[in-house]
């Protein structure tokens, strides 16, 4: 890239940043704020207007001659859109999201994602076909797709890293398969990473730079945000506490190891613990209701699970010295006694003051993963640049190098 093109790119970025923060503003105001010449501002604004990234409205206070009234300019969040496609163990959730992170349309379906990758991918593609018209988004305005899967994803190639955790997807290249169906670029990440990204950007973690995010549902997932950026580590597994070995004599986990945290603290484990008292097939919602009603078996099982999660989180608090812990998932976010048990153990076991941090319920519910997937798409600098809308890049917390 030549120096001139680089300068132009930098000027575009500077101007778009101002549009985002100061909008609506007129050209003169934008010139003052950016330090760019009037001619440069006018030329760049003409580009943005042509690409649809910026809209202009008449300035009500404008007093210029007819045709020369200086218009007010603002960034148009609808100039482009992204898709968030989240595959859970038993559902698929697709969202159409604008550049400001607002959900324009979404749909969630029950689906056994373990039954087959190809069928699940086909369902995702047909949901997109239904949702784009519903959102009023022209398919040509969609710049890319963020995709979530409920398994560790290899940082190197985007493949499912531990096939034992998602066997049906073992031979599948998830991003390429979805890209082929949608004719759009796709980035894939682990569901807990996406939850962390969404909660850290729009939810309970938005005021913190360093976060541990734990997803407690039928399984146990976790992810890390450090210095405002998702930290996936060298191989993509960073933060994954569900498969820490915590009980050397414990039962065999679905990952093949013995005594993982997930065998003790997951919703499935709690459900098993409650089977003698309440039978099989308890939903997560029912478990939460039992704990809230002080059912003795539920209180004991929740306390046991929370203590185990706290034991796993305490050394991470001390080792990483984060600002807050966000507890998500349909068990973690809803079950106050579970969070209380986690907090009590973290405060007891982490080296002060590293455990004396807010331990908060996630706020985005089951929208966290699709929103996180959309956020992942919004942070792909190449896609934004190709669409002519690069202003949001440095505002979002995680800008991967691509
Ligand atoms: Zn395991």
Centre of ligand 1 from the C-alpha of residue 359, in Å: 24
| Residue 193 CA from chain centroid, whole number | 6
| Beta-bridge mates of residue 188 | 147
| Residue 256 CA from chain centroid, whole number | 28
Q: What is the pLDDT of residue 391?
A: 41
Backbone dihedral region of 281: left (phi > 0), alpha (psi from -120 to 50 degrees) or beta? left
In angstroms, rounded to a whole number, what is the distance separating the alpha carbons of residues 101 and 98? 5
Centre of ligand 1 from the C-alpha of residue 254, in Å: 6
Please, which residues have CB within 8 angstroms of residue 400's CB and are 6 or more apart in sequence? 379, 380, 381
Picking from 226, 219, 147, the residue whose alpha carbon sits closest to that of residue 190 is 147
Centre of ligand 1 from the C-alpha of residue 376, in Å: 27
Picking from 305, 307, 301, the residue whose alpha carbon sits closest to that of residue 349 is 307
Q: What is the pLDDT of residue 347?
A: 97
Q: What is the pLDDT of residue 384?
A: 66
Centre of ligand 1 from the C-alpha of residue 242, in Å: 6
Centre of ligand 1 from the C-alpha of residue 261, in Å: 7
Per-residue pLDDT 10s for the chain (402 aa) are 466 666 776 777 777 767 755 567 888 888 998 889 988 888 888 877 877 778 888 776 655 544 455 678 877 778 789 999 999 888 999 999 987 788 999 999 999 988 889 999 999 999 999 999 999 999 988 999 999 998 889 988 888 888 778 888 988 999 999 999 999 999 999 999 999 999 998 899 999 999 999 999 988 999 999 988 899 999 988 988 999 999 999 999 988 999 999 999 999 999 999 999 999 889 999 999 999 999 999 999 999 999 999 999 999 999 999 999 999 999 999 999 999 999 999 999 999 999 999 999 999 999 999 999 998 988 776 676 666 554 433 333 333 333
Q: What is the pLDDT of residue 393?
A: 36
Centre of ligand 1 from the C-alpha of residue 244, in Å: 7
Centre of ligand 1 from the C-alpha of residue 378, in Å: 32
Q: What is the pLDDT of residue 400?
A: 34
Centre of ligand 1 from the C-alpha of residue 401, in Å: 31
Centre of ligand 1 from the C-alpha of residue 152, in Å: 12
Centre of ligand 1 from the C-alpha of residue 386, in Å: 41
Distances 67 to 41, 71, 72 between C-alpha atoms, Å: 18, 10, 14
pTM comes to 0.80
Q: State the CB neighbour count (10 A cutoff) for residue 47.
A: 14
Q: Number of C-alpha atoms within 13 angstroms, CB side, residue 321?
A: 3
Centre of ligand 1 from the C-alpha of residue 20, in Å: 45
Pairing of β 91-98 and β 103-110: antiparallel
Centre of ligand 1 from the C-alpha of residue 266, in Å: 11
Reading the block at residue 123, the tokens are: 């369902």
In angstroms, rounded to a whole number, what is the distance separating the alpha carbons of residues 199 and 337? 21
**259, 249 Cβ separation under 8 angstroms:** yes
């Amino acid at each position: 890239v030549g120096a001139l093109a680089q300068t132009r790119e930098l000027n575009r970025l500077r101007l778009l940043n101002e549009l985002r923060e100061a909008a609506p503003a007129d050209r003169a105001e934008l010139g003052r704020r950016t330090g760019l010449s009037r001619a440069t501002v006018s030329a760049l604004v003409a580009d943005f207007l042509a690409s649809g990234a910026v809209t202009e409205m008449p300035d009500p206070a404008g007093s210029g001659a007819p045709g020369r009234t200086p218009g007010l300019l603002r960034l148009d969040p609808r100039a482009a859109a992204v898709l968030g496609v989240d595959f859970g163990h038993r559902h698929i959730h697709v969202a159409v999201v604008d550049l400001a992170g607002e959900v324009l349309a979404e749909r969630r379906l029950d689906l056994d994602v373990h039954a087959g990758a190809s069928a699940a991918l086909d369902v995702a593609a047909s949901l997109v076909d239904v949702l784009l018209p519903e959102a009023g988004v022209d398919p040509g305005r969609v710049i890319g797709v963020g995709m979530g899967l409920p398994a560790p994803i290899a940082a190197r190639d985007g493949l499912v890293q531990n096939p034992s955790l998602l066997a049906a997807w073992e031979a599948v290249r998830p991003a390429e398969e979805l890209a082929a169906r949608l004719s759009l670029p796709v980035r894939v990440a682990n569901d807990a990473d996406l939850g962390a990204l969404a909660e850290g950007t729009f939810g309970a973690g938005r005021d913190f730079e360093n976060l541990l995010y734990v997803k407690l549902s039928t399984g146990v997932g976790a992810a890390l945000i450090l210095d405002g950026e998702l930290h996936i580590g060298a191989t993509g597994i960073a933060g994954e506490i569900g498969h820490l070995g915590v009980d050397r004599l414990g039962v065999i986990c679905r990952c093949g190891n013995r005594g993982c945290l997930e065998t003790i603290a997951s919703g499935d484990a709690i459900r098993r613990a409650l089977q003698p008292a309440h039978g099989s097939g308890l939903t997560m919602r029912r478990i939460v209701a039992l704990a809230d009603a002080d059912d003795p078996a539920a209180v004991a099982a929740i306390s046991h699970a929370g203590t185990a999660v706290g034991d796993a989180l305490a050394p991470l608090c001390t080792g990483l010295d984060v600002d807050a812990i966000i507890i998500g998932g349909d068990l973690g976010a809803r079950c106050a006694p579970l969070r209380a048990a986690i907090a009590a153990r973290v405060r007891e076991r982490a080296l002060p003051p590293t455990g004396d941090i807010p331990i908060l319920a996630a706020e985005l519910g089951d929208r966290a993963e699709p929103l996180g997937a959309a956020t992942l798409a919004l942070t792909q600098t190449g896609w934004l640049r190709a669409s002519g809308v690069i202003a949001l890049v440095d505002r979002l917390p995680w800008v991967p190098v691509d």
